[in-house]
Amino acid sequence: MNEQGSCRLRADTKSWKFTGERAGAAPRTMDPIRAGTLLLLLLSSVRLSLQTTEVMLLDFEKMKGESGWLTNPFGKGWDLLPDWRNGSAIFMYTVCNVQEGEQDNWLRTSWIYRSEAQRIFIELHFTVRDCNSFSGVSGACKETFNLYYMESESDVGINFQKRLFRKIDTIAPDEITLQEDIDSRNLKLNVEVRSVGKLTKKGFYLAFQDIGACVALLSVRIYYKKCPGVVQGLAWFPETVAGADSQSLAKVAGKCVENSVPIGGDDPSMHCNTDGEWLVLIGGCVCEAGYEKVDNKCQACKPGFFKADASNNPCQPCPDHTEPSSEGATSCPCQNGYYRANVDPISSPCTSSPSAPRDLTVVGSGSKVMLHWLPPSNDGGREDLIYVVTCEQCLPDQGECQPCDSSLRYSESPLHLRATSLTVSDLEPHLNYTFTVEARNGVSSTKSGRSYTTLRVSLNQTEPPRVTSVNLEESSKNSLRLSWTVSPRQQNRILRYEVAYNKKNDEKSYTVQRCEGNSVTLSKLSPGTTYTIRVQAQTPEAAGTYSMEYEYETLPEEPEGANQTAIIAGAATGVVIIVMVIIFVILLHRSRRNGRSRQSPEDVYFSKSEQLKPLKTYVDPHTYEDPNKAVLKFTTEISPNVVTRQKVIGAGEFGEVYKGILKKSGKEIPVAIKTLKAGYTEKQRIDFLSEASIMGQFCHHNIIRLEGVVSKCKKISH
C-alpha cells in the first residue's frame, strides 16, 4: 500500500496489475486486461429463466461504488477500485497481500433486508492469481478465500464482530490465472454460487475473509428464488417462495381457470422445489361443456359448434338434421321430424322413423304359412331397424277379431325380427287371420304414427286338429296318468284320441290305447322305465297328425328293508367317528403335557441361537505417547517424489485440500491431498497425525481409503 492509498502489485514487466484509487479519488483509465475481464463478466450476467423467478436482494454491480461495505482492518487488505467503461464507472474489490505473510482481511457487506426469503443464493464472479506466478513469496500465499454470513434483526452499523459470523464455505476457483495467462492477457474468470438457509431473522450480512490470496471480486449477486405464477393443466398456480430445505417440496394448490372444472372433483396441485421450479403436477382441470381449450384458457364454442361434456376436446360442428346452435352450446337441437334415441350420444345426428315394409306376401301349405316382405324405402338414417309381426284371428261369420291364440308357433320371435320373413304354424281352419308387419327403429317410440303393412289370410282346409301339448299328471312304479290340450274351437269335431307309447330303448314295438276324453292312465308299465308318448286326435272325416314325442318315467321299485339298512349304517358310522375324536383329544393332551415337562427355561432362551461374527479391534492412536509411532504402525509412508498437486478443491480443518496425482506401480491415480497449514500448533499436528492413524485402520468399500502419509520435509511438486 503506497502513501497515496493506491493498491499496486509489481513483480516484473509481465505481472498482473490492478490499478485504481480508493473511493473518492479521481477515477483512472482501466487497463485492457481488466476491461476484457469486465466484458466477460457482463456477458455472464445475462440469465434466462423459464421456470424460476429470482428476486434480487443485492447487486454489487448496480451500486456503482456506493456499497458502504466495511473493511477490517481498516486501511489494509480489501480495497475498492473504480474504473471507467463507456462513460460509466465500474468497481471491484481486490486484495493481494501475498508478500506480507499471514493475512486475516475481512470485507463485510451492508445490512441486507431478507424480505420473504427462506433460502438465499450468493453468486460470486472473481479471479484468483496463481501463487507460483509471484517470486519470493512466503508459504502463506493462498488461492482461496472464505465466505461468511450473520443474521440480525436490525442494522448493527460499524459494530463488526467476527465471532458472530458463521462460515458458509471456502471458495476455491475452478481456474487459476497462471503466469502464461497473464502473458497472453487471458484472465480466468470464476463463477461460484452458494446458498444459505433457513434464514429466520429480518436481515443478514455477508463477509469475505482473505487469508493470503490475490483475489479480485468483480460481482456479488444475492437473491432468493420463487416458483413463478403459471397456468399448468388449465389451473393457475400463484407465485410461491421456494422453501429453505433442499430436500423438501412445497405443495401448492391450484385454482381452475374460468369456465373449467377440476378432474375428478379434486383441486389440482403442484410442488415448488428449493430451486424455484415447479414439479409433479397432480390432477388438472378441463373445460366445461360448451367450452374448448385455447392456449391456457377455456373459450366458448362458436355458433354452429357444440361440446357436450367437460373435457379438453375441441368443439364439434353440429351434426346432420340439427338446428344451428348458439355460442357456448352443449348440444344442437333436432330439426322438426327428427329425433335422438335415449341411448344416442348428444353428438350423433338426428334421425327419423322408418317407412313401412314393402310388398308383403304369403305362401301357405296346410296349417302353415310363410310371410315375406321387403325392407322399407327409408330406414330413417339408423342401423337398428327391426320388424314386429302381430296376428289377429276372426271367425268368417262374425266381424269381431281378437289376438291370435298362444298356440300358434313362429319360426322365431315375432317381436324383434331382423330378417324379412317369418313362418307361422298350427293355424286353425275356417278362420281368417290378419298379419301386420311394422318397421321400427330407435326413435319410433317418439313418433305417434306407425309404419306398417297388413295382409289377410283365410284357411278352409278340413284337417283334424292337432294335440299341442301332453302333460304328466301322476306317476307310479307301474303307471302314468297323462292329459293334453287342443284348440277349444275344434273339440266338438273330435271323435276320440289315440295314444301310442313304447319304451325309450325299444323302437321296434309300441302299444296303442284309445280314449274319448283328453286324459288317460297307462297301466301295467315297468318300474323305473322311460316311455316315449305321442297323442293323435281323430275326427269322423280323418285322423290328424301325431303330436310331438314326450318322454316320462315311472317310479323305481324300492327293495324291501332298504330303509332299515340305511339307518343302521348311518348310526354305526356316527359311533365310529365319535370314538376316533375322543382318542385324538386324549393323545394330544398327553403330548402337550410331556413337552412342557421336558422343556426348561434355558431351552427356551437358547432355542434360537445365532453364530457370533468375528469382530475387528480398532486402536485409538491417542493411547500412544508418541503419535509418530501410531502413524508408522497404521499408515504407509509415501515419498514426496511420487505425489503431484494440481489445484485447490477445498479447505479442511487443518489446511487446504488439493486435487493431485499419485504415481503407484507405474500408474497415475487421482487422489485428494489433505495438507497441514503453515504455522500449525503442536495440538494441530498431533490431531492431524491421529486422524491419519485412524483412517489407516479402515479397509471397507464404503469408507475413503488412505493411500499413505508424506511426513518428509520436501515440498510436494505442483
- HEC string for 91-153: EEEEEECCCCCCCCEEEECCCEECCCCCEEEEEEEEEEECHHHCCCCCCCCECCEEEEEEEEC
Going by pLDDT thresholds of 50, 70 and 90, the confidence category of residue 500 is: very high
Q: Which region among 77-91, 188-202, 297-311 has the lowest average model confidence (pLDDT)?
A: 77-91
Residue 614 pLDDT exceeds 90 = no
Round to whole Å and give the CA distance between 659 and 644: 9
Q: What is the mean pLDDT of residues 300-306?
A: 94
Question: When comparing pLDDT for 616 and 254, which is higher?
Answer: 254
Q: What is the mean pLDDT of residues 423-447?
A: 85
Question: When comparing pLDDT for 544 and 128, which is higher?
Answer: 128
Residue 4 pLDDT exceeds 60 = no
Round to whole Å and give the CA distance between 691 and 452: 105
> Binding site annotation covers 255?
no
Domains and CATH numbers, the chain: 32-226 (2.60.120.260), 228-287 (2.60.40.1770), 358-458 (2.60.40.10), 469-553 (2.60.40.10), 621-696 (3.30.200.20)
Q: What is the mean pLDDT of residues 55-72?
A: 88
pLDDT score for 302: 94
Q: Which region among 2-6, 63-67, 269-273, 620-624 has the lowest average model confidence (pLDDT)?
A: 2-6
Going by pLDDT thresholds of 50, 70 and 90, the confidence category of residue 375 is: very high
Residue 459 pLDDT exceeds 50 = yes
Round to whole Å and give the CA distance between 295 and 526: 89
What digits encode the pLDDT tens for the residues 256-288? 999 999 998 889 999 988 888 898 889 999 999
User: Over the chain, what is the mean pLDDT?
Assistant: 80
pLDDT score for 463: 65
Cell of 163: 465471532
User: Contact, 568 vs 562, CB < 8 A?
Assistant: no
pLDDT score for 491: 72
User: Contact, 103 vs 91, CB < 8 A?
Assistant: no
Question: When comparing pLDDT for 196 and 623, which is higher?
Answer: 196
Which of 30, 214, 34, 221 shows the shortest CA–CA distance to 125? 221
User: Contact, 168 vs 122, CB < 8 A?
Assistant: yes
pLDDT score for 696: 81
Task: Give the number of residues written for the chain.
Answer: 718
